[in-house]
Every structure is written in C-alpha cells, then in structure tokens.
Chains A and B, each alone.
Chain A
Amino acid sequence: MQLTVGPNQFFWAADRWAELYQELASAPVDRVVLGEQVCSKRLPFFQERIPEAIEVLQAAGKDVMLTSLALVTLKRERKQTDALAEMGVSVEVNDLTALANLPEGMAFTVGPLINVYNEGTLNWLAERGATRICLPPELPMESVEVLCKAAQDAGVEIEVWGHGRLPLAISGRCYHARMHKRAKDNCQFACEDDPDGLDVRTLEDQPFLAMNGVQTLSDTYACADEQIEALTSAGVTALRLSPQSKGFAEICGLYRQRLGGDLGRGALAEALRAMDSEMRLSNGFLTGKTGVEWAAE
C-alpha cells in the first residue's frame, strides 16, 4: 500500500504552503498532489511557487500531480483548468471540465471529487486514459471491493481517502465571505484565518462541520486505521492523506508505520489522538451507518 498526499484544501500563506512541500520531500510518502482545488481566487498567491515545489518533490523521488479546481464556472477558471496540462506533470481531474480540456490521449488521474460510484463510470474513465482513481470518500467498503475488481480488469490503480477532514460539499457561494457580510468578489480572503477550516458547531455546541470558503468539510478527521487490512485485501493500492496545519509530516510517518506493521490496528488512531485531543476521528463512510461515526472492533 502506498501513500498519496492530496492537495492542501485550505488557504495558507505562500511561505507556509512552500514549507509543507519542503517537509514532504523527506516524508515517507510516494505521491503528492498539489495546486488549488477549492477557490480560484487563492491561486495567484502561491502560483509562482508551484514549479519549485514540483522540483523539490520530484528530486526526492515523489510522483507529483497537479489538481484541477473542484467547481469550474468562470472564464478565468476555465483558463486555469486549460493551462494545467502545460505544467509538465500529470493532471488530477476533480471537475470533469479538466478532462474536457486535456489533450486527446494524455493520461490523467481522477480525484475524490469526481463521482466514481460504479464500474461503468470507472471503465469510461479508464478508456479515456485514467491510470489512477481516488474514490469518493462517501463510498462504503462493499462498493470499494467491487470497484477494485473492475479496476484490476481495466488496469487502473484504486486509492481511498485515508486521513483528514472530509470534503463534503462545494458551492458557488463563499460561506466565509457570507459570515463576514461580504460578497464573494470582495471576500478579503477571510478563509486565510482558518488554516484547517473554521469549526461549525450545532446549537448545542456539538462539533459538526468545518467551513472553508466555498467548501464544507467534516469536523472529524477521517482515519482508515481500522480498515487498512480490509482495504489492502480488496486491492486498494494507495491511501490518501489530506494536509492539515499541525504535525502533518509526523502523521504521514504514523501511517507509514501502520502500513509497515510497526503500529498495530488501533495504535495509529491512539497516536493521532495523543498528538491532538481536538482531532476527532471518523471512519463511518467505509464501515459505519453514517459518515461521522467511529467504529472500532
């Protein structure tokens, strides 16, 4: 089982952003997806740092991909999407617009925000040149198993969301701007204050969701500790870890230890909780009744 680091979902200052990829160059991960997935207004702030980050990671032997936006509507966003293929690394499609813009015959990978729920969709993407698919986090283990079989026949690698706040929704409306009573076009980058998203609580102060500009995430951090053996035997070949502002390189190390057998089942979750008691974990999309649940044997 390999480890893939997904794109940073949040808005960080460019120096902090670049630092993450310096750290990841020496982290025990196989693959890194970078770029902007959530909001096209953020990209200009770190765009010119991308080539250097790619270089650093490639020099360290990592596979590098560039993500598309999750929702492409504006002309500017279509141009950004169109330009992805020219960066010299493989494109991770997270809105089918990116696929529409790819030169015919160019191989690509598929991110967790594309709705790959069944064999028909998987096969269609494989025929179009998909080499790797990270499944939507919502999928239960039964679907993962069926899709792994189809992927083997189609020659596609299957990846599953392994760690991090779950991307639950994307909108045309920016909630950070709305909360600050600003229009999206004049958001003044309110989301920059929340490097892991802004906690959204219920009226009874139960932690529930996290706000990240136009994106809504789970409060909980998904963690596949309990399911790693089942995912491996199903044929999943990589786990996706989603960046967070604190201790991320250490978290990558813990997952590597778990995959290598140095940490047993349950010990990974325990270590994560010891790192940060506020990091509430969930794994319910894979094996529970609801996504938010934590199910352990």
Chain B
Amino acid sequence: MVMEIVCPAGTPAALRAAVKAGAHTVYCGFNNETNARNFPGLNFDREEMIEGVAFAKAHGSKVLVAINTFPRAGAEHIWHEAVADAQAAGAHAVILADVGLLAYAAKNHPNLRLHLSVQAAAANADVINMYARDFGVKRVVLPRVLSVPEIAAINAETEVETEVFVFGGLCVMAEGRCSLSSYATGLSPNMNGVCSPASHVEYEDDGETLDARLGGYTIHRVGKDEGAPYPTLCKGCFKAGEATGHLFEDPVSLNAEQLIPQLEKAGVTALKIEGRQRSRSYVAQVVRNFRRAVDALDAGQPMPEGFLASLSEGQATTTGAYKKTWR
C-alpha cells in the first residue's frame, strides 16, 4: 500500500492547497489553546472546520483535528467541546496527547477514531499497546527521538499504526516533556500551544552584530550581514565549560526524504510533514514532492533525488534521530 502523506494546514487556504496537491490526509486545529500550534492568525474556527472537512472529503482526502495540548485544570470543557466539534465536523480522527482527554473521548465518543499525538512521547511498544488497550488508539505519531531500527522494532510488536515526521521543524527534546519555553517566557507547548513565542523575541542591532533574545536571554549573535535564525530555545547558541556553540541542536530542520524506503520497510504507515505555520504555496510544493516520492516507491521506481532541498529555504537539514549518529 502506498504510504500516506499527512500534511499540515494552518488556514483553510492551506488545506485546499494541500488537498489539491495530492495530500492523502490533512491535519489542522481549532483557533484556541487546544492545539499545539496556537499562533495568532492561524487555525480554524468551527465554521471553517466544517467547510474544510467537506472540501477534503469531496476530493477524497481525510482531515485529522489536533487537540494536543494538555487541558488546563478547571477548564477541561474547552477541550471536551473541541473533541465534540471535531467529530460533528466529520473529522476522520482526532489527535490527542493527554490521558484524561483520551479517557474522556473514548468514553463519550466511542465511534471517534483516536490518534496519539507526538506530544504524548510514546516511545516504545509497551506503552503504545497500553494506549490501544485502554483508549482504543488506532495510530501513534512517534516522537522524534527514535532511530529507524527502533521504529521497526516498535512496529513488530504493535498493531497500532505508526506515523513519523519526515520534513520541517525538528524538536530535539521529547515533545510534550519540555518546559524550556515556559521557564524563560511563561508560555509552553503543553499549556499554551506555543514554543519560544514571537511575543517574547527581541532583536538588537548595534551596527556590528545582531543579537536575538528570547525572554531577555541572548540566544543568537551574528555579524551584521548574516541572517539571524529565529531564537528557538533548544537551537540557540550557548556556553558551557570551555565550549561555545549550539549545545543542544544546530538551527537545522528535518528532512528524511532519503529514508522513506527504509521507513516503509520499518512498517511505517504514514509520513507527517511539520508546518501548520507555513504558507499554502510551501505546503503545496512539499506535498507534491512527497506524493511523487511515495508513488514512485509504490510503483517500484527509483526515488526522485534531493527533491526537497530547495524547500528548506537555504537552511541546513538533518535526518535527526532516524540515523543513530545524531545521538
């Protein structure tokens, strides 16, 4: 079976572009704190979600709704409503991370298909099978800390489908287990659906160098003619002992295009593209290229080579943890 391309959509326009470009599946979220890309101007209101799902269905694509932050104590109804509204809109599945919310959905929406978000950081077959047994989870998005052989080992021991990230932003920490952002800025992926938020970024140009600060901490310093990368905490430049450098991760993004055949052999069902904050033209281009790749693979033809290099916007890319040398 051809591998499924799961594509991001931050706006209704991006959803339509992704569907037209051949995305088998599109994932998106409501425009509030219930999803882990809670950025200003992004995401779907209720009406847009209904229309988006209808558009996708009419073109043979599926929509997944990410409700993957951790509900705030005393305000769980906001997340419960999101689950109900996603089902009412006709979503193929919801992507959840919180066990309380999974238990709620399994009990109150028994016919709704549940996917386990990468935010749950389920990194082995024992725990994945527990999610299947206790909540009926049908698919897990694997954390970006696993190598290809580890993914193969998981697939050998579970009936749950696996979905892996192949392109876009790269978390170097186990997702859903990181509070670096709230330590420095007060806002976190788990609670607020944002990481290293733009509202806390400042640039300072003294004519010679350009400093990028997050929450008052200087995270990058570049010469005046160099491009300053966005100050994402884990990809910042720091000092420790005698060393100065990107101690956690370089400012790179993930590109695992070369590994698609290996991921297929490892038993992976779906390939996920990161980037609900990206433009519709970017999304369409990435989808078109990945569709070409998985269709070629399915037809037994050679993979198109280096087909995504131009889309990484001049940024360095990595295959992340999929190749063990990363660790």
| Partner-B contacts on A (CB < 8 A) | 70-75, 77-78, 81-82, 95-97, 99-101, 113, 115, 117-125, 136-139, 142-143, 146-147, 150, 166, 168-175, 177-179, 183-185, 198-206, 208-209, 211, 216, 218, 284-285, 288-292
Contact = CB atoms under 8 A, between A and B. Distances in A.
A168 B179 contact: yes
Interface string B161-196: 000000000001110111110111110101100000
Contact of B98 (A115, A172, A284): A115
Contact of A173 (B177, B215, B326): B326
A142 B72 CA distance: 10
Contacts of B41: none
A25 B72 CA distance: 38
A137 B191 CA distance: 12
Interface stretch (B86-94, B216-224, B270-278, B281-289): B216-224
A117 B172 CA distance: 23
Given A138-B190, A179-B247, A202-B239, A117 B184 contact: no
Contacts of B191: 117, 138
A209 B178 CA distance: 13
B188 A208 contact: no
Nearest to A77: B124
A292 B325 CA distance: 33
Contacts of A147: 73
9 contacts: A71-B174, A73-B123, A100-B126, A115-B99, A117-B73, A119-B100, A138-B182, A169-B177, A203-B218
Contact of A115 (B70, B123, B153, B183): B70
B241 interface: yes
A147 B324 CA distance: 40
Nearest to A114: B99
Closest A-B pairs by Cβ, 8 of them: A120-B100, A172-B145, A121-B100, A291-B183, A100-B130, A117-B70, A146-B73, A169-B173
A73 B179 contact: no
B150 A143 contact: no
B101 A115 contact: no
A55 B99 CA distance: 35
A142 B74 CA distance: 9
A201 to B, nearest CB: 4
Nearest to B98: A121
Nearest to B220: A203
Contacts of B299: none
B237 interface: yes
Contact of B217 (A118, A122, A202, A288): A202
B104 interface: yes
Nearest to B173: A169
Contact of B145 (A120, A146, A173): A173
Interface centre among A72, A73, A201, by most chain B C-beta atoms within 10 angstroms, is A73
B179 A171 contact: no
Contacts of A184: 327
B234 interface: yes
Interface centre among B70, B129, B211, B237, by most chain A C-beta atoms within 10 angstroms, is B70
A14 B5 CA distance: 49
Contacts of B174: 71, 169-172
Nearest to A120: B100
B135 to A, nearest CB: 10
Contact of A179 (B73, B100, B185, B240): B240
B98 A118 contact: yes
B307 interface: no
A118 B143 CA distance: 23
Contacts of B248: 171, 173, 175, 216
A72 B124 contact: yes
B286 to A, nearest CB: 25
Contacts of B71: 117-118, 120
Interface in B211-244: 211, 215, 217-221, 234, 236-241, 243-244
Contact of B153 (A75, A289, A292): A75
Contacts of B324: 183, 185
Nearest to A208: B217
A174 B327 CA distance: 6
B4 to A, nearest CB: 24
A289 B186 contact: yes
B145 A200 contact: no
Contact of B186 (A96, A178, A216, A290): A290
A291 B186 contact: yes
B73 A142 contact: yes
Contact of B241 (A143, A198, A218): A198
Contact of A166 (B172, B183, B243): B183
Interface centre among A142, A147, A184, A204, by most chain B C-beta atoms within 10 angstroms, is A204
